[in-house]
């Protein structure tokens, strides 16, 4: 038995086939397949004259063909095999173009599509395949714009709900309304503590969602999905509120629903974070003890983890500014609730056994593992690593022991070099650079520059006079060498 083709479709809202048929400028006509195409959607248009289109389809396409690949007298078996391959590949519909090869759609193809339940569209001679493909992409762009507007409005509604006097029920109500379904907040034991929206009529859907919630509390997974009795089920672990889970059940899953549920999960994580029990109490106790004068190493055990030391992570969003919501979400992604937001920089204290990974939308600098007494040093290391990451446009950089030249910011080093070497001409500066690099060797410098050794002596002496310094002093030589390494002009 042939295995079904795995569908891989782009993350763009699909286009209902009915909308494409309604375009009067295309004049497409359904001539076979189900009479009701309201449930048929397409994810793109693809033209192919290959006898077997199966390997070239991802799934969900409107396949367009002019029949150039058909043999001279194809029988019913040929058409049945051709259509079955399209169906096996997950093709959504078939469009057959009239002219220049065929004046009518072959009856065998009509019969095969009717038998296989594949919508067959007749494409008139005046309608090019390019026009059909363009119409599909236009409809997809319109759907994408509509979906983005829906998601944006729903996100604003979620933010407003979180600011109400009863924020948790309000966020659940807003989310349930946005996804046209049911939203539930489960406690660590998998029992619902708050819910909103239309409760699924099917008991299997309600039970399935609770089982997903329990699955997340028992494992380190952050999301889980399932389908039960025609209902789409999704569960999200709340990062700050350890053990709490957001469950969503809806009759269908729109492209933007995952984004909305993720935003709601972050909001609920923040809203329920104050009631997470022992872990939060321990962190509050650590803060109070620090404020009352305890040493960091004395309170660190209350924070949990850190047996192998701690990492300081400094992060900056690629599209500033950062806000508390984004900072909390970053801490959740890095596996730590110890987050500090100061301006556009977020600092997260992470146990060293949780190696941070690059995060979408952020630039990160990570310190070396440090004990609590060395946290300030680790913070400085993370700041330098973040500065290098921003300068090199690298998503994440870890601390390394810097060379002496890296301890001075490049702009300051350049300004100092220009001020120090201002009296020298380019020729004198280049001679001094070569002479220092060759440890003051007159003959080797002369060979390297292609001049007489007396010229080298005269130029070096001129440099000493202009700089008013003793070039025999090793400290002077070292300072001039660092300055000359980046100096490229007078």
Residue 417: which domain range?
A: 410-485
pLDDT exceeds 80 at position 6: no
What are the tens digits of pLDDT across the range 369-426?
A: 988 888 899 999 999 899 889 988 899 999 876 555 555 667 777 788 888 888 989 8
Answer whether residue 294 is part of any domain: no
- Residue 2: pLDDT band by 50, 70, 90 thresholds? very low
Final residue of a domain: which of 402, 429, 457? 402
CB 332, CB 269: distance < 8 Å: yes
Q: Verify that 70 and 169 share a domain, yes or no.
A: no
CB 91, CB 59: distance < 8 Å: yes
pLDDT exceeds 90 at position 26: yes
CATH assignment of the domain containing 107:
3.40.1390.20
Closest CA to 233 of 274, 183, 166: 183
Q: Mean pLDDT in the chain?
A: 85
Q: Verify that 191 and 260 share a domain, yes or no.
A: yes
* Over residues 431-445, mean pLDDT: 89
Answer whether residue 153 is part of any domain: no
Q: Verify that 80 and 134 share a domain, yes or no.
A: yes
What are the tens digits of pLDDT across the range 273-309?
A: 544 445 666 777 777 777 777 788 887 887 777 678 8
**Residue 462, helix vs strand vs coil:** helix
pLDDT of residue 78: 96
What are the tens digits of pLDDT across the range 314-327?
A: 999 888 777 665 77
CATH assignment of the domain containing 224:
3.30.450.30
pLDDT of residue 400: 74
Domain count of the fold of the chain:
4
Q: Verify that 54 and 98 share a domain, yes or no.
A: yes
Answer whether residue 30 is part of any domain: yes
Answer whether residue 242 is part of any domain: yes
Final residue of a domain: which of 402, 436, 470? 402
Proportion of the chain above pLDDT 90, given as a percent: 37
What are the tens digits of pLDDT across the range 165-198?
A: 677 888 999 999 999 999 999 887 788 888 999 8
Q: Compute CA 393 distance to the chain's CA centroid, rounded to the nearest angstrom.
A: 16
Cα separation of 90 and 83, whole Å?
A: 11
- Residue 84: pLDDT band by 50, 70, 90 thresholds? very high
Answer whether residue 313 is part of any domain: yes
Q: Verify that 347 and 445 share a domain, yes or no.
A: no
Cα separation of 249 and 326, whole Å?
A: 26
* Over residues 227-240, mean pLDDT: 84
* Over residues 335-364, mean pLDDT: 87
Q: Verify that 391 and 420 share a domain, yes or no.
A: no
Cα separation of 42 and 137, whole Å?
A: 10
Q: Verify that 124 and 46 share a domain, yes or no.
A: yes
pLDDT of residue 489: 41
CATH assignment of the domain containing 472:
1.10.10.2840
pLDDT of residue 312: 93
Q: Verify that 40 and 59 share a domain, yes or no.
A: yes
């Amino acid at each position: 038995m042939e295995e079904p083709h795995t569908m891989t479709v782009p993350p763009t809202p699909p286009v209902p086939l009915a909308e494409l048929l309604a375009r009067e400028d295309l004049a497409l006509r359904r001539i076979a397949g189900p009479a009701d195409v309201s449930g048929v959607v397409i994810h793109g248009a693809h033209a192919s004259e290959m006898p077997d289109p199966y390997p070239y389809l991802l799934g969900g396409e409107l396949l367009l063909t002019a029949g150039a690949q058909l043999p001279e007298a194809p029988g019913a078996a040929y058409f049945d095999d051709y259509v079955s391959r399209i169906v096996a590949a997950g093709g959504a519909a078939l469009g057959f173009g009239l002219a220049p090869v065929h004046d009518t759609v072959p009856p065998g193809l009509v019969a095969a599509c009717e038998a296989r339940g594949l919508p067959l569209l007749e494409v008139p001679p005046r309608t090019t395949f390019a026009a059909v493909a363009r119409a599909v992409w236009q409809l997809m762009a319109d759907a994408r714009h509509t979906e983005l507007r829906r998601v944006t409005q729903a996100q604003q509604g979620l933010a407003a709900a979180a600011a109400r006097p009863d924020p948790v029920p309000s966020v659940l109500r807003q989310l349930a309304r946005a996804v046209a379904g049911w939203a539930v907040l489960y406690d660590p034991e998998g029992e619902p503590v708050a819910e909103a929206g239309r409760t699924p009529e099917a008991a299997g859907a309600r039970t399935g969602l609770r089982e997903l919630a329990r699955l997340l509390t028992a494992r380190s997974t952050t999301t889980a999905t399932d389908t039960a009795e025609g209902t789409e089920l999704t569960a999200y672990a709340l990062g700050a509120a350890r053990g709490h889970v957001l469950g969503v059940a809806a009759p269908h899953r729109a492209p933007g629903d995952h984004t909305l549920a993720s935003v709601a999960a972050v909001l609920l994580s923040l809203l329920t974070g104050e009631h997470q029990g022992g872990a939060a109490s321990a962190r509050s106790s650590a803060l109070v003890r620090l404020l009352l004068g305890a040493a960091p190493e004395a309170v660190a055990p209350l924070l949990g983890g850190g047996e192998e030391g701690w990492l300081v992570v400094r992060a900056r969003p690629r599209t500033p500014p950062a806000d508390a919501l984004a900072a909390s979400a970053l801490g959740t992604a890095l596996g730590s609730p110890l987050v500090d937001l100061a301006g556009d920089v977020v600092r997260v204290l992470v146990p060293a056994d949780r190696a941070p990974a690059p995060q979408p939308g952020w630039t990160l600098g990570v310190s070396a593992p440090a004990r609590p007494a060395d946290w300030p040093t680790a913070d400085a290391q993370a700041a330098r690593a973040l500065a290098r990451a921003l300068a090199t446009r690298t998503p994440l950089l870890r601390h390394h022991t810097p060379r002496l030249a890296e301890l001075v910011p490049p702009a300051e080093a350049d300004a100092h070099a220009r001020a120090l070497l201002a009296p020298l001409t380019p020729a004198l500066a280049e001679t001094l650079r070569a002479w220092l690099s060759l440890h003051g060797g007159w003959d080797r410098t002369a060979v390297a520059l292609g001049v007489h050794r007396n010229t080298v002596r005269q130029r070096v002496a001129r440099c000493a006079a202009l700089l008013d310094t003793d070039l025999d002093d090793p400290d002077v030589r070292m300072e001039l060498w660092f300055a000359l390494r980046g100096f490229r002009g007078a």
